[in-house]
């Protein structure tokens, strides 16, 4: 496995791979890898010749009061895990090279970026879209892999790829969960034991929603009310949002009649956690 930190070295290697006719699978990450990331790598290995993973804690997708500084980082551990899973190349650029002085161009996926997580994380999706566009331009992947856990992110990236005519297939891989149901996230490391237990309410509230829909409930208002009351039983958990939206445009749906995304974000102490499911009727 190669570890590359310079953009021009990465671009040269990509040129060589393309010349050899190799297809490139790309897994963008911010590191502190877990099974969720590994499931993206495993999917990439099945479909493409070379798997490139980026590890870059992207400063421009964090708000001023967010956890950029304390975001967990452990490149040695990441390297070992990536090698074990079959990553061929890790690309870990520096922030200075990605955003040199004079950098002024940003990608904004309008509409999709300002709802759900975007309503409280102002500028977050512009930071994500910008870094992903840059990484796509450097790595020139045939296929890029994203996790369903970040549903809004992958919907915004798909829109960007379509709007900007990027010739890249975006694949969404199902959320990987701990055995008790908590969605895997690098931020789970922040949780104390009692917080970790209360965080299970994210998945429990989604399960409650599935049961309600299975029992014939179609009113989003009623489902959201039930989910919120379940969550509010946990004193350490504060709700950011619980929403039922269209899976393509993220607009609120009041009566469920087709496919919907049920998504939520909560704070467990200071840690912001998200989860979602897609429900079809």
- Residue numbers annotated as active site: 37
Q: Which stretch binds ligand PAF (CB under 6 A): 28-36, 215-223, 241-249, 255-263?
A: 28-36
- List the x/- string, 211-250, binding to ligand PAF by CB under 6 A: ----------------------------------------
Secondary structure element (H or E) that encloses residue 19, with its range: helix 7-19
- List the x/- string, 44-83, binding to ligand PAF by CB under 6 A: --------------x--x----------------------
Describe the chain by its helix, strand, coil percentages, rounded to 5: 40, 20, 35
Contact with ligand PAF (CB under 6 A) among 38, 128, 166, 253: 128
**CA–CA gap between residue 182 and residue 178 (Å, rounded):** 5
Q: Does 41 bind ligand PAF (CB under 6 A)?
A: no
Instruction: Select 130 or 198, whichever has its Cβ closest to ligand PAF.
Output: 130
**CA–CA gap between residue 33 and residue 55 (Å, rounded):** 9
Instruction: Select 146 or 231, whichever has its Cβ closest to ligand PAF.
Output: 146
Q: Does 39 bind ligand PAF (CB under 6 A)?
A: no
**CA–CA gap between residue 44 and residue 25 (Å, rounded):** 5
Q: Does 30 bind ligand PAF (CB under 6 A)?
A: yes
Nearest approach, Cβ of residue 127 and ligand PAF (Å): 7
Q: Which stretch binds ligand PAF (CB under 6 A): 42-50, 100-108, 126-134, 266-274?
A: 126-134
Instruction: Select 202 or 223, whichever has its Cβ closest to ligand PAF.
Output: 202
Nearest approach, Cβ of residue 21 and ligand PAF (Å): 27
**CA–CA gap between residue 278 and residue 274 (Å, rounded):** 14
**CA–CA gap between residue 220 and residue 213 (Å, rounded):** 9
**CA–CA gap between residue 227 and residue 221 (Å, rounded):** 10
Q: Does 188 bind ligand PAF (CB under 6 A)?
A: no
From 210, 228, 208, 223, select the one nearest 281 (Cα to Cα).
Answer: 210
Q: Which stretch binds ligand PAF (CB under 6 A): 14-22, 101-109, 127-135, 218-226?
A: 127-135
In the chain, DSSP assigns E strands to: 2-4, 24-29, 50-55, 89-91, 143-147, 169-173, 237-246, 259-268, 271-280
Q: Does 132 bind ligand PAF (CB under 6 A)?
A: yes
Instruction: Select 162 or 232, whichever has its Cβ closest to ligand PAF.
Output: 162
Contact with ligand PAF (CB under 6 A) among 14, 26, 28, 160: 28
From 147, 141, 107, select the one nearest 124 (Cα to Cα).
Answer: 107
Q: Are 153 and 35 in contact (CB under 8 A)?
A: no
By CB under 6 A, name the binding residues for ligand PAF: 28-30, 58, 61, 128, 131-132, 150, 153
């Amino acid at each position: 496995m190669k570890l590359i930190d310079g953009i021009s070295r990465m671009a040269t290697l990509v040129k060589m791979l393309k010349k050899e006719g190799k297809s490139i699978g790309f897994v963008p990450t911010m590191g502190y890898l877990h099974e969720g990331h590994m499931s993206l790598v495993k999917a990439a290995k099945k479909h493409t010749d070379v798997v490139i993973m980026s590890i870059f804690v992207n400063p421009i997708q964090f708000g001023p009061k967010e956890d950029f500084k304390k975001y967990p980082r452990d490149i040695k551990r990441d390297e070992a895990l990536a090698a074990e899973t079959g990553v061929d190349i890790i690309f870990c650029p520096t922030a200075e090279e990605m955003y040199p002085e004079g950098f002024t161009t940003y990608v904004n996926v309008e509409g999709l970026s300002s709802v759900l997580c975007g309503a409280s994380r102002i500028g977050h999706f512009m930071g994500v879209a910008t870094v992903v566009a840059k990484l796509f331009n450097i790595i020139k992947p045939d296929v890029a892999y994203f996790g369903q856990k970040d549903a809004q992110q992958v919907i915004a990236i798909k829109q960007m790829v379509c709007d900007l005519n990027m010739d890249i297939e975006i694949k969404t891989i199902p959320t990987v969960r701990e055995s008790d149901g908590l969605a895997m996230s690098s931020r789970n490391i922040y949780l104390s034991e009692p917080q970790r237990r209360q965080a299970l309410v994210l998945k429990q509230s989604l399960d409650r929603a599935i049961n309600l829909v299975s029992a014939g409930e179609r009113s989003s208002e009623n489902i959201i009310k039930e989910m919120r009351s379940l969550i509010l039983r946990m004193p350490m958990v504060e709700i950011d949002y619980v929403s039922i939206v269209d899976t393509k445009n993220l607009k609120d749906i009041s009566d469920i009649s087709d496919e919907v995304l049920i998504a939520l974000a909560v704070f467990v102490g200071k840690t912001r956690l998200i989860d979602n499911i897609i429900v079809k009727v």
